[in-house]
Structure 1
Amino acid sequence: MTNLFSRRSVLGAGGAAVGAAALGSLGIGQAGASPTGRLWQSERVRYDSKYRLVYTADDEGNRIPDFSHAGYRNGDSPIPHVRTVKTVQPIEGDNTAHLQAAIDEVGLRTPDRNGFRGALLLAPGIYPVAGTLRVNRSGVVLRGSGDGADPAKNTVIQATGNTPVSRDVVVLGGSVSTGWRGEVAGTRTDITSDWVQVGSRSFDVADASGLKRGDNIVLIHPCTEAWLASVDHGGTAKDAGWTVDSQPITYNRFIRSIRGNTVTVDVPIFEHMRRARSQSYLYVWDRAGLVTGVGVESLRIDIQFAGDPDVDEAHAWVGVKVRQVEDAWVRDSTFLHFAKAGVETTEATRVTVRNCRALDPASVITGGLRYNFNCESFSQQVLFVDCYASKARHAFISNGASSASGIVFLRGTSEGALASSEGHRRWSQGLLWDNHREVAPKVDLTLGIYNRGDYGTGHGWATSHSVGWNCDTGTTKLVVQKPPTAQNYAIGCHGIITGDGPFTQPAGYIEGANRTGLVPPSLYQAQYLDRHR
């Protein structure tokens, strides 16, 4: 998949004739539903007579945002095939130093005109690795020969031992997360628009003289008492409510244009910013330590463990940690027997995880573990597509709280789920589960777009302005609930679609539950195509 979708793929098999005329011929107009009952459109986002997507807002101004900027280079370019510049074979014993030296050698090469230094190819075989491999120079790709189990044809990294304790096997990106705090002097300015609606890209600032087109900026919506009061201090049930400064909403963006003091950014915001509740501001980020244009491809990481897979966790915890990066990818790879995650992102922007499998975790079945595909803090514009998880507690999850947003789980499959895929805690925003599927789950709630009350440490409202689109949870629950000041959505989903969650809250927006024929069948793909017309 290159993210370049045809109109036919967006309409699906039922849309043989495409465009406005096709929608009209199918009886689908601006009102939404087909009189035949076969194909229908949502009232919240639908095609108009010119085959453009139209979004409607509720009385509070809540509307579905555009998720199509997720992924490598915001989805505007396909993941590149970077030229192989070095090939290595496995050696006897621990291969950590052997592989790290080869990675570092590639990292010393001069970047080409596109910023790529080259790919290190690992020939087929078994590579025992007792430490951590670090792809920490921009433009470097770690490439295997395949992710199958047969080492005669594929690259198998066997992660051995537990030193350091609970380590990552591969770190793709920088060494230390900064929280995007590096502020270029003289660039901070307040956002003066009284209200910036969810899904907006433009707003006024007090002084744009220190800004220019192309600047990488960080927007901060401080966590004030007025904002906390508007969201019921997080809705944390029996736990203490969230406190001032605990949940600042943070966005990493680029300036697309400046007109006077009006700034337009590249990606929409995923939350309302009301000046009366919080004085938001922005600054130019210095991008210190950022690693760009890096990838992991076509390999198998098999973490070695001893004993019972539901008990032993004295081994590596994460297959690939994607950290302090922009424009990175992990594709065509398999991760086994991790304790926490197959792929985990943190301080990561514009990342694609494609055609990966995170299987059979080995750990105690408890909190903080078995998050097979996991977004931690400062994860934004991350796209997971065609990924498969097994035996997860939370297969496809945002655990990044209020600094995580714009995350898309497209065509994900979870088999044998032990808990729900979900926004996990403390006001993550703008999550999309698009054509998510559950297979043989072990629990009765498998997708949560909801309030988590006093779960964890006052998780409360776990997500806002998030969507389940054309998902199938089988005979289990998809719980969608409405946060104060915001909305969550379940549209065209199949299963038990309900607002009845573990903590009593108003139901979110539910439309077309257990009804086939939703047009478009994929929201992300439709939004992508609409943006590139």
Structure 2
Amino acid sequence: MDLTRRGLLAAGGALAFTAAAGAAPARAGTLWQSDLVRYDRRGRLVYTADAEGNRVPDFSHAGYRGGERPIPHVRVVKVIRPVEGDNTAHVQAALDEVAALPRQRRGALLLSPGLYPVAGTLYVRADGLVLRGAGDGADPAANTIIKATGNTPKDRNVIVVGGVSGGGWRGEVPGTRTDIMSDFVQVGARQFQVADPGALRAGHNVVITHPCTEEWLKAIDHGGHDVGPPWKVGEHPLSFNRYITDVSGNVVTVDVPLYNHLNRAHSTSFLYTWDRAGLVTEVGVERLRVDIEYTGDPEQDENHAYNAIYLLRCEDAWVRDCTALHFTQAGFATQETTRATIQNCRAVDPVSIVTGSRRYNFNTYTYSQQILFKDCYAYKARHAFVSNGHSTVSGIVFLRGVAEHALNSSEGHRRWSQGLLFDGHRDLDPHYDYTLGLYNRGRYGTSHGWSAAHSVAWNCDVSTSKLIVQKPPTAQNYAIGCRGTITGDGPFAQPAGHIEGANRPGLLPPSLYQAQFFDRHR
């Protein structure tokens, strides 16, 4: 394809999109495209697969409503001010009052500027309920500050958005389970054949499962580590939370691509309609500051709250314009959550021992899918932007994240997280040998092994540090157009992943997520 200005304009306005995506285009003569994702002559994205069928997947469905709608501005239905002493019961009573309203009358509880000492946990646990402050700055005269006090119960969350932990997506509607009959469903695909489509309808929320069999474990070298507890049969099934968009004969189409191959030679996959028990939807937290109180050495004290804001068992949720400080593990975390956006948030100054299970400033835990972290900032993290789940985590986008003074790497952390996209990630003043990783973690932690598969670092800058990208068996990882030391040489020897255009300016498109989003909505 001609990469002159005339050629790009003829190819569907790619330069116009580059500008619209918020990045100043390089001079026309320096623009280049990946061999794996590129614009065709009609200005549409086309993808190239390797001999194993691996290809860069479409990440554009991440975030609130899968990107189909912007985050709403929910009307205020109640306003409160802080009271003397512990405000836990005061704020929770107001939240529960709004939650008790009929669904169509619910909205935002607005916390007026001030300091709200909170010794317990605040729960945002009804559909359509939003907790909103006046701002996330440090001055209580103009901002809303949740001051998390004490450590009772030990290691608590300060704000929980959603329901209670429900063991994943195990609620199976009776009579809906059916096997997937396609021999090989390629990563990035949305269609497959099933044995019995009779109970399936467009609009059904389904869970697709690729069981963790001995054959699959053999194919992935049992996780790729030779010491520590082995990965066990049944321990790490691949799970995908999806909606059916069409049933035609025995062919089912779902709304979001799959982020791993489904190979019947390794395991017979199946799907069922999920009962969605305990799921909370259309919930959010906005414009407030969670400041966790501590008294000791910031690299030793752990006698305080553990996580600041936790999304749990929810769908179509959001957190925006918030700051979290002095947590042990995470400023912002997700679990059993799909289609959520965490936007323009800051997770800074964690207070903990600098060791495992701490300082995961932006953290996706188990059963987290289609999560968009957009324009977020982490300071003094061990793992600033991380998938700390395992094979139930996929479709996670870290868009324009900034990690400053990183003490370890942003990464897929353990046991076959899939479909992670680091897009425009930047490391400032890194304090570790490598600060971005799509690689094998071997014996680290609980035999983490292959920590990421079918994952991409696109147009990232690790500064004076390293980006490690390695190829898992049956899958691939990619580093395209990234800056810094880009290498396949990790702490555990494995084949290098796909490295393309290292330290070469002018990558087109500058943002993979935004290009895919634009392409899907043309």
TM-score by length of 2: 0.96
Matched, 1:299 2:288: yes
Distance apart, 1:239 and its partner CA: 1.9
- Structure 1 pair 94/21, CA: closer, same or farther in 2 (3 Å)? closer
Distance apart, 1:16 and its partner CA: 9.8
- The equivalent of 2:448 in structure 1 is 459
Matched, 1:68 2:57: no
Matched, 1:219 2:211: no
Pairwise mapping of residues 95-134 of structure 1 onto structure 2 (< 5 A)? 95-112=87-104, 117-134=106-123
| 2: CA distance, partners of 1:502 / 1:327 | 38
Match of 2:413 among 424, 433, 452: 424
- The equivalent of 2:22 in structure 1 is none
Letter matched to residue 50 of structure 1: R
- Structure 1 pair 321/213, CA: closer, same or farther in 2 (3 Å)? same
Letter matched to residue 285 of structure 2: V
| 2: CA distance, partners of 1:503 / 1:14 | 46
Contact 2:14 2:43 in 1 (8 A): no
Q: For residues 251-308 of structure 1, what are the alpha-carbon distances to aligned partners after superposition, in whole Å with 9 as ceiling and x for unaligned? A: 0000000000100000000000111110000000000000000000000000000110
- The equivalent of 1:228 in structure 2 is 217
- Structure 1 pair 14/178, CA: closer, same or farther in 2 (3 Å)? farther
Contact 1:177 1:323 in 2 (8 A): no
Letter matched to residue 498 of structure 1: T
Letter matched to residue 367 of structure 2: F
Q: For residues 439-469 of structure 1, what are the alpha-carbon distances to aligned partners after superposition, in whole Å with 9 as ceiling and x for unaligned? A: 0011110000000000001100001000000
Matched, 1:478 2:467: yes
Pairwise mapping of residues 165-184 of structure 1 onto structure 2 (< 5 A)? 165-184=154-173
| 1: CA distance, partners of 2:164 / 2:366 | 15
- The equivalent of 1:141 in structure 2 is 130
- The equivalent of 2:345 in structure 1 is 356
| 2: CA distance, partners of 1:298 / 1:249 | 35
Contact 2:11 2:39 in 1 (8 A): no
| 2: CA distance, partners of 1:22 / 1:128 | 51
Of 425-434 and 34-43, the range deviating more from structure 2: 34-43
Distance apart, 1:355 and its partner CA: 0.1
Q: Secondary structure at the match of 1:402?
A: coil
Distance apart, 1:176 and its partner CA: 2.2
| 2: CA distance, partners of 1:175 / 1:373 | 20
- The equivalent of 1:8 in structure 2 is none
- The equivalent of 2:328 in structure 1 is 339
Contact 2:384 2:403 in 1 (8 A): yes
Match of 1:396 among 357, 368, 385: 385
- The equivalent of 1:6 in structure 2 is none
| 2: CA distance, partners of 1:223 / 1:381 | 22
Q: For residues 487-519 of structure 1, what are the alpha-carbon distances to aligned partners after superposition, in whole Å with 9 as ceiling and x for unaligned? A: 000000000000000000000000000000000
Letter matched to residue 68 of structure 1: S
Contact 1:346 1:378 in 2 (8 A): yes
- The equivalent of 1:200 in structure 2 is 189
| 1: CA distance, partners of 2:14 / 2:269 | 44
Q: For residues 188-215 of structure 1, what are the alpha-carbon distances to aligned partners after superposition, in whole Å with 9 as ceiling and x for unaligned? A: 0000000000000000000000111100
Q: Secondary structure at the match of 1:139?
A: coil
Q: Secondary structure at the match of 2:218?
A: helix
| 1: CA distance, partners of 2:499 / 2:14 | 27
Distance apart, 1:22 and its partner CA: 6.0
Match of 1:280 among 256, 266, 269: 269
| 2: CA distance, partners of 1:52 / 1:509 | 23
| 2: CA distance, partners of 1:348 / 1:240 | 28
Match of 2:243 among 254, 274, 293: 254
Matched, 1:405 2:397: no
- Structure 1 pair 14/335, CA: closer, same or farther in 2 (3 Å)? farther
| 2: CA distance, partners of 1:185 / 1:21 | 50
Contact 2:223 2:449 in 1 (8 A): yes
| 2: CA distance, partners of 1:18 / 1:202 | 32
Distance apart, 1:37 and its partner CA: 5.2
| 2: CA distance, partners of 1:315 / 1:35 | 52
Q: For residues 462-484 of structure 1, what are the alpha-carbon distances to aligned partners after superposition, in whole Å with 9 as ceiling and x for unaligned? A: 01000000000011100000000
| 2: CA distance, partners of 1:101 / 1:397 | 34
TM-score by length of 1: 0.94
Letter matched to residue 526 of structure 1: A
- The equivalent of 1:499 in structure 2 is 488
Distance apart, 1:407 and its partner CA: 0.2
Contact 1:237 1:460 in 2 (8 A): no
- The equivalent of 1:267 in structure 2 is 256
Letter matched to residue 58 of structure 1: D
How many aligned residue pairs are there?
511
Q: Secondary structure at the match of 1:226?
A: helix
RMSD between superposed Cα atoms in Å: 1.8
Q: Secondary structure at the match of 1:380?
A: strand
- Structure 1 pair 35/289, CA: closer, same or farther in 2 (3 Å)? closer
Q: For residues 26-56 of structure 1, what are the alpha-carbon distances to aligned partners after superposition, in whole Å with 9 as ceiling and x for unaligned? A: 9xxxxxxx99751000000000000000000
| 1: CA distance, partners of 2:8 / 2:324 | 38
Match of 1:241 among 206, 230, 233: 230
- The equivalent of 1:29 in structure 2 is none
Letter matched to residue 144 of structure 1: G
- The equivalent of 2:69 in structure 1 is 77
Distance apart, 1:240 and its partner CA: 3.4
Distance apart, 1:435 and its partner CA: 0.2
Identity over aligned pairs, percent: 64
Letter matched to residue 361 of structure 2: N
| 2: CA distance, partners of 1:93 / 1:18 | 65
| 2: CA distance, partners of 1:383 / 1:21 | 26
| 1: CA distance, partners of 2:121 / 2:435 | 33
Q: Secondary structure at the match of 1:223?
A: coil
Q: Secondary structure at the match of 1:401?
A: coil
| 2: CA distance, partners of 1:128 / 1:254 | 41
Q: For residues 105-145 of structure 1, what are the alpha-carbon distances to aligned partners after superposition, in whole Å with 9 as ceiling and x for unaligned? A: 00011122xxx711000000000000000001110000000
Contact 2:8 2:15 in 1 (8 A): no
Contact 2:329 2:361 in 1 (8 A): yes
Contact 1:235 1:241 in 2 (8 A): no
Contact 2:365 2:388 in 1 (8 A): yes
Distance apart, 1:168 and its partner CA: 0.2
- The equivalent of 1:20 in structure 2 is 12
Q: Secondary structure at the match of 2:33?
A: coil
Contact 1:337 1:360 in 2 (8 A): yes
Distance apart, 1:237 and its partner CA: 3.0
Contact 1:198 1:272 in 2 (8 A): yes
- The equivalent of 1:57 in structure 2 is 49
Letter matched to residue 265 of structure 1: V
- The equivalent of 2:80 in structure 1 is 88
- Structure 1 pair 84/216, CA: closer, same or farther in 2 (3 Å)? same
- Structure 1 pair 18/107, CA: closer, same or farther in 2 (3 Å)? farther
Contact 1:15 1:22 in 2 (8 A): no
